[in-house]
Amino acid sequence: MSAGETAVARANVQRKMADKPLVLVVDDESAICSSLAGVLKDENFETICASDGFEALAKVTEFQPDLVFLDIWMPGWDGIETLAKIKQAAPQTEVIMISGHATIANALEAIKRGAFDLIEKPFTIDTIVSTAAMALERRRTAKRNKANGEPETGFDEPRRRLFRHDGILSTGLKGRNLGQRTLRESVVLYGQGLHSGMKSGLVLEPLPKDSGIHFVQMGGASTVPVHVDFVESTGFATTIRSGAASAATIEHLMAALHAYRISNLLLKCNGEVPILDGSAAQFCKVIEATGIEEQGGDWFEIAVPEPIRIASGGSDTESLMIEPADVFSVSYELLYPAPVGRQDALFVMDGPEAFRDQVAPARTFGFMRDVEKLQRAGLAAGGRLDNFILIGEDRVINTELRFANELARHKILDIVGDMFLIGRPIRGAVRAVMTGHSDNVQLVKELRARL
């Protein structure tokens, strides 16, 4: 046995006897290395240190630590380079990035390359310990799933089952078998949350067949499936939640995934999907540029069995229904006071290109009179003149409309996204008059009840 093999065996025996996770701390500042290692030792971790990327990779290879705390800014290999080498040498070792000068781009690049999370200096003991605990829990889940032949995603079986059952295979509701799809590779988008105002990003990662679509907090361990059962709120946007995992303003992204028939995907964000320019156009561009991987298997569309109508808002001017049809379509009638007036639009899902050209570019909109009310409610903090249509008393204030009926088309965009909360593409004709997210979700729930 070589000296290296002897050291690995000795370390494994010691860790088994002590039942303590082994953590490697990597930082070119010795004071930070020693203080962080000391904190972790006090919290019942075994620790070793490295001062640069080269030494870190050597120790990862020799000792196979459970967890690595890795500084981004280091001489020689920087933290991102070192991260890539560590994940190649030890894929199941979790890595938490640390930095005093990180940007959202640094964080997203690290997550894309496999880091669990990024925490900023100066950090607190609670942050260090809680983040380490979540990272190790994800590692244990991945190892358990791998041993059981499950995808190493950390999704528990009840949530994965949501993707597969839903009664779709019952005879009267099963439409065409469209087959499953994911993206060919991971991709990152940057932006800002419309309602939170936080600078944010979005990572889209392929998932294996039969996984479904899930959101996860950046660096988080728990996920929330994109499914009507997990809708938390529909005030001005659609938000889903399961435990600590949540995602807000998901409807524009979901509309694009619906149109391109994406069935398996992991979506990482900081609690709210970036608003981008207020439409779904950028999501379509990203999907087309990244490419789609056909995964085969069963993925049946839902054929609406009979007309379903919901009572909408208690107003005679609002209505929403869906009825059997050969394809998916949405018609929308909108009636606001001047300067908007009446707008009508009809969209037929003849393929993703139709959605990309006719509906995706339509932007979200708001009225000047409602801005103060939204801000008092803690919403629209990220509203900017370039990411929504602002309507004043007598005109659109900040932009030229992309379509004469752009507002009605955007309402169709929201419906296409919210209807995908059923977990499958739908075959049916939707007719809507002056409705919103709450109505859309209620219709999905009614449809789900028929399953």
What confidence tens digit (pLDDT) does each residue in 235-289 have?
878 999 988 889 999 999 999 999 999 999 999 887 889 989 999 999 999 999 9
Q: How many C-beta neighbours within 10 Å does residue 227 have?
A: 22
- Is residue 181 a contact partner of residue 260, using CB atoms and an 8 Å limit? yes
Handedness of CA 434, 252, 412, 428 (dihedral sign): negative
pLDDT digits (tens, 9 = 90+) for 152-168: 555 544 444 444 444 44
* 169/407 Cα distance (integer angstroms): 37
Structure confidence at residue 2 (pLDDT)? 54
Structure confidence at residue 169 (pLDDT)? 43
The mean-pLDDT minimum among 122-131, 207-216, 278-287, 363-372 falls in 363-372
Decide if pLDDT at 431 tops 80: yes
* Average pLDDT rounded to a whole number, residues 412-437: 95
Banded pLDDT at 106 (limits 50, 70, 90): confident
- Is residue 423 a contact partner of residue 224, using CB atoms and an 8 Å limit? no
* 443/289 Cα distance (integer angstroms): 33
- Is residue 175 a contact partner of residue 243, using CB atoms and an 8 Å limit? no
Q: How many C-beta neighbours within 10 Å does residue 247 have?
A: 29
Banded pLDDT at 426 (limits 50, 70, 90): very high
Structure confidence at residue 195 (pLDDT)? 44
Tokens read off for 276: 């981008």
Among 334, 359, 378, 347, which Cα is nearest to 233's?
378
Of the candidates 227, 252, 410, 437, the residue annotated as catalytic is: 437
* Average pLDDT rounded to a whole number, residues 159-184: 65
Structure confidence at residue 262 (pLDDT)? 97
* 34/39 Cα distance (integer angstroms): 9
* 190/273 Cα distance (integer angstroms): 10
pLDDT digits (tens, 9 = 90+) for 76-91: 888 889 999 999 999 9
pTM, whole model, 2 decimals? 0.73
* Average pLDDT rounded to a whole number, residues 172-188: 86
The mean-pLDDT minimum among 7-11, 20-24, 333-337, 395-399 falls in 7-11
The top-scoring range by mean pLDDT among 200-204, 373-377, 440-444 is 440-444
Structure confidence at residue 253 (pLDDT)? 97
Specify the 3-state DSSP secondary structure of 53.
Answer: helix
Structure confidence at residue 449 (pLDDT)? 86
Q: Which domains does the chain have, with CATH numbers?
A: 3-147 (3.40.50.2300), 157-300 (3.30.230.20), 302-449 (3.30.1700.10)
* 191/276 Cα distance (integer angstroms): 6
- Is residue 97 a contact partner of residue 70, using CB atoms and an 8 Å limit? yes
410 is catalytic: no
Phi, psi at 253, each rounded to 5°: -65, -45
Q: 378's torsion region: left (phi>0), alpha (psi -120 to 50) or beta?
A: left
Among 363, 350, 339, which Cα is nearest to 411's?
363
Structure confidence at residue 382 (pLDDT)? 45
Tokens read off for 402: 């992309």
Structure confidence at residue 296 (pLDDT)? 92
Q: What is the dihedral of CA 215, 273, 415, 225, to 10 degrees?
A: 10
Structure confidence at residue 11 (pLDDT)? 59
Banded pLDDT at 5 (limits 50, 70, 90): low
The mean-pLDDT minimum among 27-31, 218-222, 332-336, 435-439 falls in 218-222
Q: What is the dihedral of CA 424, 430, 433, 439, to 10 degrees?
A: -30
Structure confidence at residue 172 (pLDDT)? 54
What is the percent of the chain with per-residue pLDDT over 90, rounded to a whole number?
49
What letter would DSSP give residue 143?
A: H
Structure confidence at residue 271 (pLDDT)? 82
- Is residue 231 a contact partner of residue 421, using CB atoms and an 8 Å limit? yes
